Copies of this chain bind each other. A is one copy, B any other.
């Protein structure tokens, strides 16, 4: 694509590096900013730089935080006896938005994936073990909420093996047919697992 201005071209190229944004959307955004007040662009740019330079990671759970310890870990009203293990901060936000979980979290930073060169030492698994072994720890349950993929399952298996010697209950989120799905269109593996993992009807 040819651009009428080098400034537009630079901006489009930078915006198009963001995930899910092509050159056409990037151009539309650049032209949108040009039409708006200068303050708009300044506050967008400022928010991005602040995000990148000021964000910290919680020392306890490795969640994104504004302070050395994140607001969830600092909140005494959260259930201190359960830790939910997630891959990323995005997954944490997704679980928070369900309003069904009031415990603590532990953000792994990914899953074990030999193909992508991610080994257990690249994740925050050691930190999780230390956290549970800490003498002040109140953790009684570790809830594994990892992706239902081979990498996720491998990681769950690895963590379970490490946690076995410690005195904690290990649970995992339920796998099954998603709410609102029709059986006819559910894949065979999910449907098969939902039968193997059947539970008492509570209707």
CA–CA, A34 to B62, complex, Å? 13
A168 in contact (CB, < 8 A): no
Smallest Cβ-Cβ distance to A99: which chain B residue: B2
A8 in contact (CB, < 8 A): yes
Point out the residue from B30, B46, B96 that lies within 8 Å of A51, measured CB to CB: B30
Residues of B within 8 A of A31 (CB): 88-90
Smallest Cβ-Cβ distance to A67: which chain B residue: B5
Point out the residue from B21, B27, B52 that lies within 8 Å of A90, measured CB to CB: B27
Does the CB pair A92–B4 fall under 8 Å?
yes
What copy number does this chain have within its complex?
2
Point out the residue from B4, B25, B32, B50 that lies within 8 Å of A63, measured CB to CB: B4
Point out the residue from B4, B40, B43, B96 that lies within 8 Å of A89, measured CB to CB: B4
Number of A residues with CB within 8 Å of any CB on chain B? 58
CA–CA, A52 to B36, complex, Å? 9
Residues of B within 8 A of A171 (CB): none
CA–CA, A30 to B51, complex, Å? 8
CA–CA, A62 to B174, complex, Å? 60
Residues of B within 8 A of A40 (CB): 17
User: What's the least CB distance linking A37 to chain B, in Å?
Assistant: 9
Does the CB pair A55–B93 fall under 8 Å?
no
Does the CB pair A51–B64 fall under 8 Å?
no
CA–CA, A165 to B31, complex, Å? 35
Contact with B along A149-192 (1 / 0, CB 8 A): 00000000000000000000000000000000000000000000
CA–CA, A103 to B136, complex, Å? 77
Residues of B within 8 A of A64 (CB): 4-5, 8, 34
Does the CB pair A44–B15 fall under 8 Å?
yes
A54 in contact (CB, < 8 A): yes
Within A100-150, the residues touching B (CB, 8 Å) are none
Contact with B along A56-99 (1 / 0, CB 8 A): 00000001111000111000000000000000111011001100
